[in-house]
Amino acid sequence: MNRDALFLQAAAATGHAFDGDIKVGGHYAPLVRHGLQLYVSGQIPRVGDQVVATGRAGAEVSLEQARAAARISTLRALALLQRALGSLDQVDRILRITVCVQCTPDFTQHSEVADAASDLPHTALADACLHPPTPTKKKQQPKL
Protein backbone atom coordinates (compact mmCIF):
# COMPACT_ATOMS: atom_id res chain seq x y z
CA MET A 1 0.00 0.00 0.00
CA ASN A 2 1.45 3.41 -0.92
CA ARG A 3 1.67 6.35 1.47
CA ASP A 4 -1.33 8.15 -0.02
CA ALA A 5 -3.51 5.10 0.59
CA LEU A 6 -2.16 4.83 4.14
CA PHE A 7 -2.99 8.51 4.67
CA LEU A 8 -6.57 7.96 3.44
CA GLN A 9 -6.88 4.97 5.74
CA ALA A 10 -5.62 7.00 8.73
CA ALA A 11 -8.03 9.84 7.89
CA ALA A 12 -10.95 7.42 7.60
CA ALA A 13 -10.09 6.01 11.02
CA THR A 14 -10.72 9.48 12.50
CA GLY A 15 -14.10 9.65 10.78
CA HIS A 16 -13.04 12.68 8.74
CA ALA A 17 -11.90 13.35 5.19
CA PHE A 18 -9.30 15.91 4.21
CA ASP A 19 -10.07 16.19 0.51
CA GLY A 20 -11.68 19.65 0.68
CA ASP A 21 -10.06 22.99 1.30
CA ILE A 22 -7.60 23.18 4.16
CA LYS A 23 -8.73 26.49 5.61
CA VAL A 24 -6.31 28.71 7.47
CA GLY A 25 -7.27 31.23 10.11
CA GLY A 26 -5.02 34.14 9.25
CA HIS A 27 -2.82 35.85 6.73
CA TYR A 28 0.00 33.35 6.41
CA ALA A 29 1.16 30.62 4.06
CA PRO A 30 0.22 27.20 5.41
CA LEU A 31 3.23 25.70 3.64
CA VAL A 32 6.52 27.25 2.50
CA ARG A 33 9.14 25.67 0.27
CA HIS A 34 12.82 26.53 0.77
CA GLY A 35 15.04 24.57 -1.59
CA LEU A 36 14.27 20.91 -1.06
CA GLN A 37 12.63 21.47 2.32
CA LEU A 38 8.99 22.19 3.05
CA TYR A 39 7.83 23.89 6.23
CA VAL A 40 4.25 23.38 7.33
CA SER A 41 2.71 25.98 9.60
CA GLY A 42 1.08 25.05 12.88
CA GLN A 43 -2.28 23.39 12.43
CA ILE A 44 -5.41 23.40 14.54
CA PRO A 45 -7.95 20.58 14.72
CA ARG A 46 -10.23 22.02 12.03
CA VAL A 47 -12.16 19.89 9.57
CA GLY A 48 -13.88 22.05 6.99
CA ASP A 49 -15.35 24.96 8.94
CA GLN A 50 -15.51 23.16 12.28
CA VAL A 51 -12.83 23.19 14.98
CA VAL A 52 -13.42 19.79 16.56
CA ALA A 53 -11.94 20.53 19.98
CA THR A 54 -11.93 23.83 21.82
CA GLY A 55 -10.87 24.51 25.36
CA ARG A 56 -8.08 23.28 27.59
CA ALA A 57 -6.89 19.73 28.06
CA GLY A 58 -7.58 18.81 31.66
CA ALA A 59 -10.70 21.00 31.80
CA GLU A 60 -13.13 21.29 28.86
CA VAL A 61 -11.17 18.79 26.74
CA SER A 62 -10.49 15.23 27.87
CA LEU A 63 -7.21 13.45 27.18
CA GLU A 64 -8.84 11.41 24.41
CA GLN A 65 -10.34 14.54 22.82
CA ALA A 66 -6.91 16.21 22.94
CA ARG A 67 -5.36 13.15 21.30
CA ALA A 68 -8.04 13.20 18.58
CA ALA A 69 -7.38 16.91 18.03
CA ALA A 70 -3.65 16.20 17.66
CA ARG A 71 -4.41 13.51 15.07
CA ILE A 72 -6.60 15.88 13.06
CA SER A 73 -3.98 18.62 13.19
CA THR A 74 -1.36 16.16 11.92
CA LEU A 75 -3.65 14.92 9.14
CA ARG A 76 -4.09 18.52 8.01
CA ALA A 77 -0.31 18.93 7.83
CA LEU A 78 0.04 15.69 5.86
CA ALA A 79 -2.76 16.78 3.50
CA LEU A 80 -0.89 20.03 2.84
CA LEU A 81 2.28 18.08 2.06
CA GLN A 82 0.39 15.71 -0.21
CA ARG A 83 -1.10 18.59 -2.19
CA ALA A 84 2.21 20.41 -2.51
CA LEU A 85 4.11 17.33 -3.67
CA GLY A 86 1.38 15.45 -5.55
CA SER A 87 1.95 12.38 -3.37
CA LEU A 88 3.20 11.57 0.10
CA ASP A 89 5.51 9.09 -1.63
CA GLN A 90 7.66 12.15 -2.44
CA VAL A 91 8.39 12.84 1.24
CA ASP A 92 11.93 11.79 2.07
CA ARG A 93 11.92 12.59 5.77
CA ILE A 94 9.94 14.34 8.47
CA LEU A 95 12.57 16.28 10.36
CA ARG A 96 10.51 17.70 13.18
CA ILE A 97 7.04 17.71 14.68
CA THR A 98 6.09 20.30 17.26
CA VAL A 99 2.94 19.77 19.32
CA CYS A 100 1.45 22.59 21.37
CA VAL A 101 -1.13 21.68 23.98
CA GLN A 102 -3.44 24.24 25.54
CA CYS A 103 -4.06 22.87 28.99
CA THR A 104 -4.70 23.51 32.64
CA PRO A 105 -1.70 24.12 34.94
CA ASP A 106 -2.07 20.65 36.49
CA PHE A 107 -2.31 18.74 33.18
CA THR A 108 0.69 16.38 32.90
CA GLN A 109 -0.12 14.17 29.92
CA HIS A 110 1.46 16.32 27.21
CA SER A 111 3.51 13.42 25.86
CA GLU A 112 0.39 11.30 25.42
CA VAL A 113 -1.18 14.05 23.30
CA ALA A 114 2.05 14.44 21.32
CA ASP A 115 2.26 10.68 20.77
CA ALA A 116 -1.13 10.79 19.05
CA ALA A 117 0.26 13.40 16.65
CA SER A 118 3.51 11.55 15.94
CA ASP A 119 1.86 8.14 15.53
CA LEU A 120 0.15 9.23 12.30
CA PRO A 121 3.28 10.05 10.31
CA HIS A 122 4.72 6.72 11.45
CA THR A 123 1.59 5.02 10.11
CA ALA A 124 1.40 6.89 6.81
CA LEU A 125 5.10 7.50 6.10
CA ALA A 126 6.77 4.70 8.06
CA ASP A 127 10.41 4.82 6.97
CA ALA A 128 10.42 8.61 6.45
CA CYS A 129 9.33 9.60 9.91
CA LEU A 130 11.68 10.98 12.52
CA HIS A 131 14.62 8.70 11.94
CA PRO A 132 18.16 9.76 11.17
CA PRO A 133 19.16 9.17 7.57
CA THR A 134 20.58 5.79 6.72
CA PRO A 135 24.06 6.06 5.20
CA THR A 136 24.24 4.89 1.61
CA LYS A 137 27.24 3.91 -0.43
CA LYS A 138 25.97 5.64 -3.53
CA LYS A 139 25.07 9.32 -3.46
CA GLN A 140 21.44 9.71 -4.46
CA GLN A 141 19.38 12.70 -5.54
CA PRO A 142 17.23 13.63 -2.51
CA LYS A 143 13.46 13.57 -2.79
CA LEU A 144 11.38 16.49 -1.54
Q: Which residues pair with 61 in a beta bridge?
A: 57
What are 1-48's pLDDT values in tens digits?
899 999 999 999 999 988 888 888 788 899 999 999 999 999 999 998
> Around 31, how many Cα atoms within 13 Å sit in the side-chain half-sphere?
17
Within a 10 A sphere around the Cβ of 40, how many other Cβ atoms? 19
Q: Which residues pair with 47 in a beta bridge?
A: 50
Distances (CA, A) of 74 to 30, 85, 136, 138: 13, 17, 30, 33
pLDDT value for 136: 39
Distances (CA, A) of 111 to 26, 50, 78, 135: 28, 25, 20, 30
Determine contact, residues 23/49, Cβ cutoff 8 Å: yes
Q: Which pLDDT band, with edges at 50, 70 and 90, does 143 fall under? A: low
Closest CA to 74 of 144, 10, 2: 10
What are 88-136's pLDDT values in tens digits?
999 988 888 899 999 999 999 999 999 999 888 888 887 666 544 444 3
